[in-house]
């Protein structure tokens, strides 16, 4: 069941949402709903991945990294 809510967004965000919705041939409401749903799905995915993480596996992965200077293209400025 869909619930109706009024929310305030900055004008620039609304303008961008309108442009993107038009490009995808959907209403602004559909576009925003999909964007919020994707955000929640991404957060849930990261939460589940975090539950499976372990310090032992992290340390084992770090052990695979060679102890040497990074290549020039990989160095921070």
- pLDDT tens track for 14-54: 999 999 999 999 999 999 999 999 999 999 999 999 999 99
* pLDDT greater than 80 at residue 62: yes
Per DSSP, the three-state class of 5 is coil
Q: Is the pTM of this model over 0.85?
A: no
Integer-rounded Cα radius of gyration of the chain: 21
Mean pLDDT value of segment 49-68:
94
Mean pLDDT value of segment 1-23:
92
User: Do 56 and 41 form a contact (C-beta atoms < 8 A)?
Assistant: no
């Amino acid at each position: 069941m869909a619930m109706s809510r009024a929310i305030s967004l900055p004008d620039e965000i609304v303008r961008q949402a309108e442009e993107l919705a038009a490009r995808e041939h959907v209403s602004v409401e559909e576009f925003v709903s999909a964007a919020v749903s994707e955000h929640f799905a991404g957060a849930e995915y990261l939460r589940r991945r975090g539950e499976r993480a372990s310090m032992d596996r992290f340390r084992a992965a770090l052990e695979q990294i060679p102890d040497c200077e990074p290549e020039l293209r990989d160095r921070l400025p």
